[in-house]
Structure 1
Amino acid sequence: MATVGYARVSTEDQHLTAQIEQLTAVGCDRIYKEKVSGVKRDRPELTAMLDYVREGDTVVCCKLDRIARSTAHLLEIVEALEKKGVAFKVLNLNLDTTTPTGKLMVTMLGAIATFEREMMLERQKEGIAAAKERGAYAGRKPTARAKSADVLRLMEQGMGKQAIADTLGIGVASVYRILKGHKLA
């Protein structure tokens, strides 16, 4: 059972020293460190840490915003850890998913994230409706359909569906839809 730390700062000119000292003080056997924006979800050291930990391990970070910048991303990380049987602790919040209070806090964060998402979608729907009333909203332009002639031409030249999609910068599903519309799929 290992105690694994995760430390992150956003830029190269920031320092990890304080986080590393805190993680070392709580007994982290191994510390994953990176200097990259927290907005990026595909952080190499975070991915490596999530791959490394095993059942019975504990992941520790100093502050919540060091490991995730959005509630949704945090919940994905916590869920991945739970599936592996790994505990999660945040030092400045005294959050510990091995305790009932810690589990409650994570559940509350999940509920808040769901609420925020639903509110955002509701505002978006209201905004689109208002824009349509003003005649200012026409929806997304059908970019793939505008390339129908190119799809048909490349297909006649013997190019594969995925290659056509890549060449034209459209989805392969759009290629199939265009070909189906012309009864070629």
Structure 2
Amino acid sequence: MLIGYARVSTDDQNLDLQRDALKSVGCERIFEDTMSGANADRVGLAELMNVLRVGDTVVVWRLDRLGRSLKNLIQLVDCLETAKVGLRSLQENIDTNSSGGRLVFHLFGALAEFEHNLVRERTQAGLVAARARGRMGGRPKRLNPTKRALALKLHHERNHTIEEICKMMDISKSTLYNYLDKADSDVTGIA
């Protein structure tokens, strides 16, 4: 059975073009979502996945209507393949029921993994280069070492409340508690 899936990103967009295309190729049912693809809770897609049976084919107008990203699309296709369900994209003219369609998807997957590895390698190389120049990364400390020591001293003297210390230092309670925890772990030798 051909089962359609259509999605638009916003309420002001219209599903008519996708509906018409899916009906014209013979989709017996069409599931729809009207929300961003970045939203993981797509009710229409979840319903679609629940009704699929072996031998069904999911039909989409374009691949970007199904997956939030290439990685997500490949994961969905893997789920469909495991369930022995095909995928057909009308605009890209891809059908995973054919050996050529499966090949295209395996190439997409390999390219996505390659790109992910390149990004990771460049990120690691950049971090190594920054460390070699003395930059450690991360968010800068809210207080310089002198003010941090003063905040700790004020806390240990017990003459001021946490709120008063935070107000004097212009920091949040969580920042002060982080400094206190760090000072305690440095004293006890726990890293």
Q: TM-score, normalised by structure 1?
A: 0.72
In the alignment, which residue of structure 2 is the partner of 1:47?
Answer: 46
> Residue 134 of structure 1: CA displacement?
2.5
Q: Does 1:12 align with 2:45?
A: no
Which residue of structure 2 lines up, in the alignment, with residue 126 of structure 1?
Answer: 125
Partner Cα distance (2:137, 2:92) in 1 = 46
**Aligned equivalent of 1:36:** 35
- What amino acid sits opposite 2:132 in the alignment? E
- Consecutive aligned runs of 4 or more in structure 1 exceeding 4 Å deviation: 138-141
1:40 Cα offset (Å):
2.4
Percent pairwise identity:
41
User: Which runs of 5 or more residues in structure 2 are unaligned?
Assistant: 141-173, 175-187
Paired residue type of 2:77: V
**2:61 matched residue in structure 1:** 62
Determine the structure 2 residue equivalent to 1:26. 25
TM-score (norm 2): 0.70
**In structure 2, distance between residues paired with 1:77 and 1:57:** 15
- Whole-angstrom CA distance in 2 between matches of 1:22 and 1:103: 23
Report the Cα offset of residue 41 of structure 1.
3.0
Instruction: List alignment gaps of at least 5 residues for structure 1.
Output: 142-167, 169-181
Counterpart Cα distance in 1 of 2:39 and 2:118: 24
- List per-residue Cα deviations over 1:33-91 (Å, max 9, x = no partner): 11111122332211221121110111000001111131110111001001111010000
Greater gyration radius: 2
Q: Which AA in structure 2 matches 1:43?
A: R
Note the C-alpha offset of 1:112.
Answer: 0.5
> Deviations 1:136-173 (Å, cap 9, x if unpaired)?
225689xxxxxxxxxxxxxxxxxxxxxxxxxx9xxxxx
Whole-Å separation in 1 of the counterparts to 2:12 and 2:61 = 19
- 1:93-132 matched pairs, under 5 angstroms: 93-132=92-131
Matched residue SS, 1:14:
coil
1:82-93 to 2 correspondences below 5 Å: 82-93=81-92
2:105 corresponds to which letter in structure 1? V
What code does the residue aligned with 1:107 have? H
How does 1:71-86 map onto structure 2 within 5 Å?
71-86=70-85
Amino acid aligned to 2:134? G
Q: How big is the alpha-carbon RMSD for the aligned residues of Structure 1 and Structure 2?
A: 1.9
Find the residue that maps to 1:123 and give its secondary structure.
helix
